[in-house]
Amino acid sequence: MGLVIELAAVQANWKALAERAPGARAGAVVKADAYGLGAERVAPALYEAGARDFFVALAAEGRAIRPHLPDDAQIFVLSGHMEGEDLTGLVPLLNSPEQFFRDRALRPRGPFGIQLDSGMNRLGLEPGEWAAIRSEALAAGPRLISSHLACADEPDHPANAAQLAAFRAMTEGVSAPRSLAATGGILLGPDFHFDVVRPGVGMYGGQPFAEARPVVTLSLPLIQTREVKPGESVGYGYNWTAQRTSRVATVAAGYADGLARALARHGELKLWSGDRACPVIGRISMDLITVDVTDLPDVPKELEILNARQGVDMLADLSGTIGYEILTSLGPRFTRTYR
């Protein structure tokens, strides 16, 4: 099983998003192991492209990539300063008064940032909390003051303007760098860019960055091919029955690898041999997927489930989810190869 990651495409997508915000510094979101693609390889490639600010969800993720980045790279931890965490070489984005006072007590000279809640009600200091500690926090010199948009992938959603107004109000007069926009926010335009933008899913080829270059190809090896006669059925529940003499291939992957059973629920999922599409038949099981390869002139050793023709967002549509979940669910049994 092979998951091929095109690092040049990640770099190109990062640069394209950075160019959409020419007045801001472009960072890079590499949380969840760079959305499942391998942060220890992806983060240095993004540094090479020009990124100097990196964002992870947890301190452990930051510690994992710290040795792979030069000293001038800042690694911001979105969960802030959790109790007992080692934050050496990292910059926590503090989310509450409790985190702020804990951080200042335990690491009074350590770099930090502040995360504000501009209306998403998920992480960050609310306006009243921020007002109470603002003077003390700003005097300590935060590296970044950030917030996050809830509906940036819906350009006309009224929450975007409301959150922008709230963030402006909370940060008026602040001299520290400010950041509001991830991929969707970058595409909303310059009002949302401020000083630092945070490209994320768009770097990895996902929506809402429709112009992104494809980043991943996932090939699944064939284990066995058999002839199935008319009236014979395939897989659990016998929910596919041959209407003609069919050649059925079984490939080595399944829901244990992040290819959810729901992908096959509407019978529209395809695997690819070059430019030829082969329908997935029957149910996706834990380790196996069955495919009708009757119409192929020759049966290859592998079939592709992710490629330039069928990207992560197409798979997401088939299974009723989002491209983020497809990427981050791809399991460790897929060997990662970087080009």
Q: What are phi and psi of 46, to 5 degrees?
A: -70, -35
Q: Assess contact for 305 and 218: CB atoms under 8 A.
A: yes
Q: Is 238 marked active-site?
A: no
| Catalytic-role residue among 15, 35, 236, 270 | 236
For residues 231 and 242, is the Cβ–Cβ distance under 8 A? yes
**157 burial via Cβ count (<10 Å: 0-12, 13-18, 19+):** middle
CB 312 within 8 A of CB 217: no
3-state class of 143 per DSSP?
coil
In the chain, where does DSSP find H-type helix?
Answer: 7-20, 31-36, 39-49, 59-65, 97-106, 127-139, 158-171, 183-188, 312-319, 323-329
Q: Does residue 15 carry a catalytic annotation?
A: no
Token pair for 285:
């099981």
- Which residue in the list 15, 31, 238, 270 is annotated as catalytic? 31
User: Which positions are catalytic?
Assistant: 31, 236
